[in-house]
Structure 1
C-alpha cells in the first residue's frame, strides 16, 4: 500500500502593507514614553508659544510637561473636585480650567494660586477657552448654558441657554471675537454671535457631540459624536460635506496636523485615525492599549500625546534625521556569509560509516483526518479560528484536496448552524481574493446548491447566503468580463502581427494583373 502523501499547501505571494509617504511619515516616531496619572486624562492642550509645553488635565489636578520632560514642570492642584478642559491662552501666560464644583479658575502659568474665580454655573463646567481678544473667557456647562466672562473685572458678560442637554465641547473663533460654536448631547451644534445674544446657525450631528474643531480658515467645521466624524461648510449655511465612519466606538477628540493637511480623530476603540483633508481617506492608524479620551499634537507634528481612560499618558517624539538614518542602516544588516556556507565544504572520508535513520513523518491534524477518510472533520480542523484567520492558504489547500478526491460535497453537507456560519464567513471574506478565488468559487457554488432548502429557518444564515450569492455572481461576472477583454486583446495582437508572403514560382507579375487573372478564373469556374 502506498504511503500517505500530506496535503500540499501552495505558497502564495504575500500581500504586504502598502507603503506610502504618509506611512513613512507617521511611523517615524520613537517608542512611546508612558506616564501614570492619578485618573482618567480628559484633556491635553499644547501651549501656542515655544517651547510648546502641554497641559494634561487628569482627576483633580493639571500637570504641565515640558517638551522632553517625564516629570511635570508645573502642577495646579487648587481644585476641590475633578478638573476639566485646561487650556492655554494664545500668549501661553494664562491657563483656564473648569471643575466639577461649578467654579471656573484662571491661573498664571508662572504662579500657583488662582488669579480669578468665576462663579455662576449651577453644574459641572466641562468647556473652557479664551476668545481671540485674550480678555474674555468662554465656558459651557452641564446646566445647558454657555457664558462669556470678562477677565479684568471677573464678571459675566452674556449667558446663552438654547441647548437642551449637557454641553461638552466648544470652540471660539480666532478671527472674530464675538463668534463661538458649541456642541451638546442634544445632538445639535450651534454657532453663537455675542452681538445679537443668540445662535445664528444650528446643525444636527445626529449623535451626542463630543468634540469640535475649526479649520484655520474657519470656513469648515469638524464635529465628532458617536461613531461619526462630520465636516460642515459654514460658508454655505452649515451644509454637511463629509460623514466619516471609520471608528467602531465613540469618537472622543479631534485635532489638526501637518499645517492643516491632516485630520486626526481618537476613539474609545483604542485607535487614532489620520485622514487626508483633501479627500478624507484614512492614510494611517495608531493603536493604543486602552480607550482614548484626549489627544494632542505639537506644532510640526513633533510630539503626539494621548490620554487614556486608565490614566496612562502616552508621549511619542519624532525621530531626528540622524536617528532615522541609523535605523534604516540597521535594517539593512544581514547575517554573515559564513553562516550560510557552514558545513557545505565537508566531504565524507573513506573510512566513514553512514548511519541512516528513517525520517518520521509528522502529519498535521487535517492530514490525520484525511488519512482516516474523515472528510468533514478534516474540513472542521482547517476551519479553526487561528487557521482561517492567520493561514487561510491551509484552509484553501484542504478544500482543494477534498475537491480533487471528489468528497468536497460530502464534507460541506450536514453542518449545523454554527459550523455553517464559520464556513460562510470564511468564504465571504476570501472569495474575492484572486489567490483563492479559483478554489473557493467551486465550494461556494456547492454550498448554495446544498443549503438552498434551509433558507428561511435562520435569518442570520439567510443573510450570509444572500451575501455569498452576491459575491459569487459578482466574481463570475468579473471573470467573464476579463475573458472577453482577453479575447479582444488576442484578436488585436493577432491582427498586428506581420503576415508572411508565400513566394510564387515563375515570373513575377504586377499586382493588378494577378488580381485580374484571379477574377477571370473564378468567373470561369462559376460558368462551368
Structure 2
C-alpha cells in the first residue's frame, strides 16, 4: 500500500469463495499510512500530498479532507473510543489533532491543536538547518503516532531517538518554545547515533508498548509506570527503513514484524530470547503485517 496513490480493498466472501476488489485513486501522491474507523466501513489515508482523507469504502466517496501540514503525512491514528478525533504526524515535524465535527475552512477541516517541532533534535541545530529546506524535514519528521487512551498520544520521530507521550488536554498550538511532553522514553540502544522508529504497537490493555527501531531492535516499554528503561528487547529481524510495521496477536502472546530482509518474523512475547518463527516467500522488503482478529492461525504480510 505504501508509495502508491491508489487504495485497494480486498474482501473474501466465504459463501462463494470469491475475492472482491475495490480500487480508486485516493491521492495525487503516495499513500503512507491507513487507519480503519472502528465499527464503520470508513478508511483514513495519509499522503505525500500533505492531506489526510476520510473515505466511505462502500462508495469510494471522499467524506472529509484534513489539511494543514506543509509536508507529507507519515502517520494517522483515530482516538480510542472516539472516531471523530484523529492525529497525524508529518515530515514537517508537527503533530496535528483534528475533529471531523468542526466547521470547514477552504473546503477542508483545520487542525484544532498542533504540537510543533515534536521531535526536532535541538533548537540550536534547528536554526542552522532552517536554510536547508527539505533537509530539515528529514531531520525532524514525525514517523508514527498512536493513541494510548482518549487523553494521551504517543509519538516517535525519524532521528531524535525519543518516544514521547503527550497530554492532549493541553493546548500546544500557541507554544512558541520547544513543546514539553508528559513522559519521554530516551533512546535505549548501544549505537553512537540515535535512531528513529517505524512503528509503535500497544497491547490490548494499553500497558505495553512495542517500539520498532531502525537499529534492528524492538524495544518493549511499560506504559503504566513509564519507566524509561525497556523491560525487554527483541532482536532477529532487520529494519532499515521507516516502513517496517509490527502487529500483536489478538491474545497479546505473539508479535509479528515485517523485515528489510524479505521475511517476516513471529516471537512469543514471554520468550523473546527463543528463536522466532520465520515466514519466507517475499522477494522484497516486508512492510505492513497484521493478525487476523478472528483466527489466530492467520496473518497477512
Give TM-score, length-normalised by structure 2.
0.68
- How much has 1:222 moved relative to structure 2? 0.3
- How much has 1:130 moved relative to structure 2? 1.6
Residue in 2 aligned with 1:156?
62
- How much has 1:297 moved relative to structure 2? 1.5
Structure 2: gaps (5+ residues):
103-108, 121-139, 173-179, 275-301
Residue in 1 aligned with 2:25?
119
Q: Distance in 2 between matches of 1:198 and 1:288?
A: 42
- Secondary structure of residue in 2 paired with 1:301: coil
Query: 5 Å matches for 1:457-476?
Result: none
- How much has 1:102 moved relative to structure 2? 0.9
- How much has 1:283 moved relative to structure 2? 1.3
Residue in 2 aligned with 1:280?
227
Select which of 207, 220, 224 maps to 2:152: 220
* Count of residues in correspondence between the two structures: 222
- How much has 1:258 moved relative to structure 2? 6.6
CA contact (8 A) 1:132 1:173 kept: no
Check if 1:189 corresponds to 2:121. no
CA contact (8 A) 1:228 1:244 kept: yes
Return the structure number with greater helix share: 1
Q: Deviations over 1:171-204 (max 9, x none)?
A: 0124223211111000001111112221111113
Root-mean-square deviation (Å): 2.3
CA contact (8 A) 1:133 1:177 kept: no
Q: Distance in 2 between matches of 1:272 and 1:140?
A: 24
CA contact (8 A) 2:38 2:83 kept: yes
Residue in 1 aligned with 2:76?
170
- How much has 1:319 moved relative to structure 2? 7.6
- How much has 1:289 moved relative to structure 2? 4.6
Q: Deviations over 1:225-251 (max 9, x none)?
A: 122211101123356112222243121
CA contact (8 A) 2:237 2:265 kept: no
Residue in 1 aligned with 2:6?
103
Q: Deviations over 1:372-425 (max 9, x none)?
A: xxxxxxxxxxxxxxxxxxxxxxxxxxxxxxxxxxxxxxxxxxxxxxxxxxxxxx
Return the structure number with greater strand share: 2
Query: 5 Å matches for 1:42-441?
Result: 83-84=1-2, 100-110=3-13, 111-114=18-21, 116-196=22-102, 197-204=109-116, 205=118, 206=120, 207-215=140-148, 217-225=149-157, 226=159, 227-237=161-171, 240-246=181-187, 247=189, 248-257=194-203, 259-277=205-223, 278-281=225-228, 282-291=230-239, 293-317=244-268
- How much has 1:120 moved relative to structure 2? 3.9
Q: Deviations over 1:126-173 (max 9, x none)?
A: 122221351321111111111111223321112222111111110012
Q: Distance in 2 between matches of 1:158 and 1:257?
A: 30
CA contact (8 A) 1:131 1:173 kept: no
- How much has 1:271 moved relative to structure 2? 1.0
